[in-house]
Structure 1
Amino acid sequence: MVQVFAHGQLRLYLLALLEDGPRHGYELITALSDRFGGTYRPSAGTVYPRLSRLEEEGLVVRTDEGRKATYALTDAGRAELDARRGDLAHLEEEIAETVRRQATQVRTDVQAAMRELRADLAAAAQRARDTATPGVPDPGRAASHRRRVEAEALVRRFVDEVRADLRVADARDGVDELTVETVRTVLDTALRSVRSTLR
């Protein structure tokens, strides 16, 4: 995974996330993922060793609750956080810029996907025209029916592939909000584009 935090920044941000109250390690991972709009999700192997070091330094205290551990700021942790408010503000600006860049990239990818979809639809329409028998009147709605069937096949293929990818992602790391928003944007744009050709 591409490095998101510079040296010491993740340590500082974990302290900041604990300022509002105790959290489990998984809750901290999820909070980080949410802060980045789902574009970055640290692994347990990244977060838990840092929590252990913060505990060793006396900045957080760990409370075991059955199979789960809750982490909370100590007075020393709050003092460390207060002393580094400027660093934290700078870090928040960097995170916001990272999220903006990711959002721009998603929009660019969506626009490229829509161009490809429009090109595929145009190519499918051209193939349908090319395979029509020249000079023979089209009986009834046969030509329209063939084109509709081909378009529906393209839609089904798209749905099947996206559904399969979503299920794999859900089983592996989870489906984040950015993915849902991307699907919504793509489908809304596709619907408008297709409807514009049907009028």
Structure 2
Amino acid sequence: MPPVFSHGDLRLYVLNLLDESPRHGYDLMQALSDRTGGTYTPSAGTIYPRLAKLEEEGLVTKSVEGRKTIYAITEAGHAEVVARAGDLEGIEAGLADSVRLIADEVRGSVREAMKSLRADARSAARADSREQVRRAEAIVADFRTTVRTDLRTHLAHGGSLAASVVDDLARSLDDTLRDLARALRG
């Protein structure tokens, strides 16, 4: 992904955020994340060294309020923000473009991931369907073997087979076949 801020732009953007209102470091990180739609959240290791440099340059001051260090812009910092208003407009435009590009990349990645997931789901469904076909074939084969064995055993023990029993079997199997066809079209 392309960087959100070009070299030196983050420094000016942080200064601009402090021109809006005094903030502590975490608040600056959150403001940057909010302004970039969550596509860029700087770490403490990115923000605090920049704040220290801005303080060295006399562009911000810091004060401690409880457990928080609050940074505020100085007159010199405000003067730089005013003097570089055109640069800030360019940063804002570049930031919007950068966020748009990142969002496009994320959308593309999500699209590709969804394609892959759909393909995996189709493949899994096919594999499951193949397994169910094997299972159905085994059930039919077991049924056929059981019917043949029971009929032959019955006849071997001197039994007879009435046409009505065979007719009932044929009707039951036809009904089952129709139910199966309906379920498969389903």
TM bin, normalised by shorter chain, reads: 0.5 to 0.7
Q: Which consecutive residues of structure 1, in runs of 5 or more, have no partner in the other structure? A: 145-198
Aligned in 2, Cα 1:15/1:96: closer, same or farther, shift over 3 Å?
same
1:70 aligns with 2:95: no
- Post-superposition shift, 1:25? 0.7
Aligned in 2, Cα 1:6/1:75: closer, same or farther, shift over 3 Å?
same
Q: Report matched runs for 1:79-94 at 5 Å.
A: 79-94=79-94
Number of residue equivalences: 142
- Post-superposition shift, 1:35? 1.8
> Which residue does 2:148 correspond to in 1?
none
1:121 aligns with 2:126: no
What SS does the corresponding residue of 1:94 show, helix, strand or coil? helix
- The structure with the larger Rg is 2
What SS does the corresponding residue of 2:30 show, helix, strand or coil? helix
The separation in 1 between residues aligned to 2:66 and 2:30, in whole angstroms, is 21
> Which residue does 1:6 correspond to in 2?
6
Aligned in 2, Cα 1:6/1:106: closer, same or farther, shift over 3 Å?
closer
Write out the 4+ residue segments of structure 1 that deviate beyond 4 Å after TM superposition. Answer: none
Aligned letter for 1:43?
A: S
Q: Which consecutive residues of structure 2, in runs of 5 or more, have no partner in the other structure? A: 141-175
RMSD: 2.5
Q: Deviations over 1:145-168 (max 9, x none)?
A: xxxxxxxxxxxxxxxxxxxxxxxx
- Post-superposition shift, 1:2? 6.7
TM-score scaled by length of structure 2: 0.68
The separation in 2 between residues aligned to 1:118 and 1:7, in whole angstroms, is 41
